[in-house]
Amino acid sequence: MCGLVGFSGEVIDRDTVIQTMTDRITHRGPDSRGVYTDADIAMGFRRLSIIDLNQGDQPIYNEDKSLVLMFNGEIYNYRQLREILAAKGHRFYTQTDSEVLVHGFEEWGEELLNKLRGMFAFAVWNTKEKSLFLARDFFGIKPMHYTTVNGHFVYASEIKSILDFPGFGKKLNKNALNNYISYEYPVPPETFFEGVYCLPPAHYLWYRGGKVETHRYWEPKFAPDDSMTEDQAVSEIEKVFEDSVAAHRISDVEVGCFLSSGVDSSYVASYFTGQKTFTVGFGRDEKYNEIGYAKELSQKIGVEHHSHVITPEEYWGNIRKVQYHMDQPLADASCIALYFVSKIASQSVKVVLSGEGADELFGGYNIYHEPDDLAAYQKLPRGLRRAIAAFVEKLPFSFRGKSFLIRGSKTVEERFIGNCSMFTMREKHRLLKEDIPATAPQLLTKPVYDRAQGLDDVTKMQYLDINVWLAGDILLKADRMSMANSLELRVPFLDRRVFEVASRIPRRLKVNRQNTKYALRKAAMRHLPETTAQKKKLGFPVPIRVWLREEKYYNIVRQAFTSKTAEQFFHTDALVDLLDAHYHNKRDNSRKIWTIFAFLVWYDIYFNGVSHEPGDMPIVK
């Protein structure tokens, strides 16, 4: 796992600029540094050595050095591709997977991408044609960002490197704040920095002749096969997942595994006999601490278990550091927990496997039950349901079933914007200052839903989550929090071969009255205790709701909500009302509060110069 940066053209003191940009992401690759420059481009690289420890430094070249490669990620089928390329006459000088990319690109060009199995973001400079090629993996596991500055094309694994480029004018993208208030995360391809973009998953980019062109090379299309039996589904899942885990364990260093009490990471860990697992939790309440479950499972499957209980002081004291490493505000409270589990893992191993992606591929989120829950009510005439919803929405009080009546009046395209949905349009207009856009989130999801026509509602929800939520939240925090600790995180569920199986699983074997991820759980039961395989999904529970009802943390957030920073973007009286209602136990506003608070902390780091180092609780200006 590594980091890369670069820019086109000549700039004053170019060597210092590329060094500064590269060193900004030393945490992504503390083992070595590489630079390539010519009259037209400067490229920088930081390496975390995983495969071919002695000869895998970058840049990597083809035989005549007409192609220059810098690469972040792992290619799991590189040995097979190497054999094919060698048979075609390509000469290899290292044992690293990186070299397969440069020869593969020379041989196949853009078609190389669909031959790969792995996670990747890489850059190839053609010294003869003066063209730059960037590519990002199928699901968006590895990041890539880019912009143009005064005629220079600038790219980097993390946005913080782009900010170091001379002449870059740092300006908040207010539309990103608009989307964030709905989704709790920055929605690609826009970022919170005006003019800086995220290359979407499964896309490549050409920069040539001063022009930028992006293209999609793959799409995760679902085609449920209703003729598939339960036994067929379970056996296919078991076979392909075993193969994926074996591929993801290829390494010249020790590989460990994150472990919670859930089926996803537990299924991964079941292949780790004799190695190490890592878990974090909060306090002693099993609702927020899965260490006991993980320790018990580790003993059963024969692995060495490491754990850490995160104190409230540790959690709040590292909020600034986490938001700095995220590059953009993320209101997923579990990202700080992920930072800590990455930290303890990095003390023992360089690589870990984790369970991200299983929910999106196999139907694991509890919200995927909603189409079944609403089915009977939605048999009523649509006009009647909409009239009921319009009436109850105007009521000034909440009651049990109010949300059901409102959501039941809508189609899945209208009600589901992804796994996370924060503020309603009415709330956005009440909170945001007039100069901040407040558009309906459905404008963003409509093009995605348009590509999912003909699928059942559960599969439409999966498709939306894979295309928006997965890259925008789950994989963003996985990459940033692991890399903040110089740790490579691999995700064996997010493998093209695994998806090929998952895409054919019929709805009844994904989400039914018995459970979510039905077929996957059945496959896991062949390797795990039934209690683990069937355990209800918890996510990564963090006691934010509890802490925000304690005076100490209430006061920290209240100070942020009444700060000058908050006044720039929000009606602060509305923010305080939101906080007070939660503090006095009138309603659970914890996730909404955290969404605003995370943004304010992030903004002060990137725009007001507040230190991101751990220490006292964050004070927002």
State the pTM of this model. 0.94
pLDDT exceeds 80 at position 615: no
For the chain, the helix, strand and coil percentages under 3-state DSSP, each to the nearest 5:
45, 15, 40
Q: Which of 64-78, 590-604, 605-619 has the lowest mean pLDDT?
A: 605-619
Burial class from Cβ neighbours inside 10 Å (0-12, 13-18, 19+) for residue 344 reads: middle
> Quick one: pLDDT at residue 51?
67
Give me the residue label for tokens 């304010």: 600
> Quick one: pLDDT at residue 56?
67
Cβ(145)–Cβ(155) below 8 Å: yes
Task: Give the DSSP letter string of 166-231.
Answer: TT----B-HHHHHHHHHHSS--TTB-SBTT-EEPPTTEEEEEETTEEEEEE---------TT--HH
Choose among 540, 557, 539: nearest CA to 548.
Answer: 557
Q: Which of 88-92, 383-387, 616-620 has the lowest mean pLDDT?
A: 616-620
* 455 Cβ contact partners less than 8 Å away, ≥ 6 residues apart: 222, 224, 463
> Quick one: pLDDT at residue 616?
58
pLDDT digits (tens, 9 = 90+) for 516-567: 999 999 999 999 988 888 877 666 678 999 999 999 999 999 999 999 999 9
pLDDT exceeds 70 at position 254: yes
> Quick one: pLDDT at residue 536?
76
> Quick one: pLDDT at residue 54?
67
Cβ(124)–Cβ(141) below 8 Å: no
Q: Which CATH code for domain 2-216?
A: 3.60.20.10
**Amino acid, res. 266:** S
pLDDT digits (tens, 9 = 90+) for 422-434: 999 999 999 999 9
Beta bridge partners of 146: 155, 197
Kind of pairing between the strands at 255-258 and 276-281: parallel
* 240 Cβ contact partners less than 8 Å away, ≥ 6 residues apart: 495, 497, 498, 500, 501
Cβ(330)–Cβ(185) below 8 Å: yes
pLDDT digits (tens, 9 = 90+) for 557-606: 999 999 999 999 999 999 999 999 999 999 999 999 999 999 999 999 99
Q: 251: pLDDT confidence band, cut at 50, 70 and 90? A: confident
Q: Tell me the pLDDT of the chain averaged across its residues.
A: 93
Q: Where do you find CATH 3.60.20.10 in the chain? A: 2-216
Residues annotated as catalytic are 2
**Amino acid, res. 202:** A
Residue 441 preceded by cis peptide, ω within 30: no
> Quick one: pLDDT at residue 532?
83
**Amino acid, res. 81:** L
Burial class from Cβ neighbours inside 10 Å (0-12, 13-18, 19+) for residue 59 reads: buried
pLDDT exceeds 70 at position 374: yes
pLDDT digits (tens, 9 = 90+) for 447-463: 999 999 999 999 999 99
Residue bearing the bigger pLDDT, 197 or 261: 197
- What is the spatial distance between Cα 183 and Cα 203, in angstroms, rounded to a whole number? 23
- What is the spatial distance between Cα 164 and Cα 17, in angstroms, rounded to a whole number? 8
First to last CA, the chain: 36
pLDDT digits (tens, 9 = 90+) for 179-191: 999 999 999 999 9
Q: Which CATH number fits domain 230-364+463-533: 3.60.21.10, 3.40.50.620, 3.30.565.10, 1.20.140.10?
A: 3.40.50.620
Q: Which of 171-185, 205-219, 257-271, 441-455 has the lowest mean pLDDT?
A: 257-271
Q: Where do you find CATH 3.40.50.620 in the chain? A: 230-364+463-533
- Number of neighbouring beta carbons within 10 Å of residue 404: 15
pLDDT exceeds 80 at position 288: no
CB-based burial, 473-489: b 16+ in 10 Å, e otherwise: bbbbbbbbbbbbbbbbb
Share of the chain above pLDDT 90, in %: 84
- What is the spatial distance between Cα 261 and Cα 517, in angstroms, rounded to a whole number? 15
Q: 52: pLDDT confidence band, cut at 50, 70 and 90? A: low
> Quick one: pLDDT at residue 445?
96
